[in-house]
Amino acid sequence: MVFQFIKSSYKKVKSALARARSFLGTKIKSLFSGKIDEHTLEQLEQTLYEADFGVKTASELTKKIRELHLEHPSYKTQDYLNALKTELVKILKSCPSTHREYSELPQVILIVGVNGNGKTTSVAKLANLMVQNGHKVLVGAADTFRAAAIEQLEIWANCLKIDIVKGSPKSDPAAVVFDAVSAAKARQCDVVILDTAGRLHTKTNLMQELEKMRRSCKKVSPHSPHETYLVLDATTGQNAIDQAKQFHHFTPLTGIILTKLDGTAKGGIVIAIQRELGIPVKFIGTGEQIDDLEPFDPEQFVDNLFD
- DSSP strands (E only) in the chain: 107-112, 137-142, 163-166, 191-196, 227-233, 255-259, 281-285, 293-295
Fill in the per-residue mask, 97 to 126: x = in contact with Mg ion (CB under 5 A), - = not in contact. ----------------------xx------
Binding positions for ligand GDP, 165-224, rule CB under 6 A: 198
Close Cβ partners of 158 (under 8 Å, ≥ 6 residues apart): none
Nearer to ligand GDP, 124 or 220 (CB): 124
Distance in Å, CB of 118 to Mg ion, minimum: 8
Residue from 149, 176, 231, 279 binding Mg ion (CB under 5 A)? 149
Residue from 25, 106, 267, 287 binding ligand GDP (CB under 6 A)? 287
Q: Does 285 bind ligand GDP (CB under 6 A)?
A: yes
Q: Where are the alpha helices (DSSP H) in 72-118?
A: 77-93
Nearer to Mg ion, 21 or 166 (CB): 166
Distance in Å, CB of 20 to Mg ion, minimum: 26
Nearer to ligand GDP, 169 or 263 (CB): 263
Binding positions for ligand GDP, 235-264, rule CB under 6 A: 259-260, 262-263
Residue 59, Cβ density class (10 Å: 0-12 exposed, 13-18 middle, ≥19 buried): middle
Binding positions for ligand GDP, 117-176, rule CB under 6 A: 117-121
Residue from 90, 104, 116, 211 binding ligand GDP (CB under 6 A)? 116
Backbone angles phi, psi at 112, to 5 degrees: -130, 165
Distance in Å, CB of 143 to Mg ion, minimum: 5
Q: How far apart are the first and last CA of the chain?
A: 32
Closest by CA to 253, choosing from 275, 236, 231, is 231
Half-sphere exposure of 113 (CA within 13 A, CB side): 27
Half-sphere exposure of 3 (CA within 13 A, CB side): 26
Nearer to Mg ion, 18 or 147 (CB): 147
Close Cβ partners of 38 (under 8 Å, ≥ 6 residues apart): none
Q: Are 141 and 177 in contact (CB under 8 A)?
A: no
What residue ranges bind ligand GDP (CB under 6 A)? 113, 115-121, 198, 231, 259-260, 262-263, 285-288, 292
What residue ranges bind Mg ion (CB under 5 A)? 119-120, 149
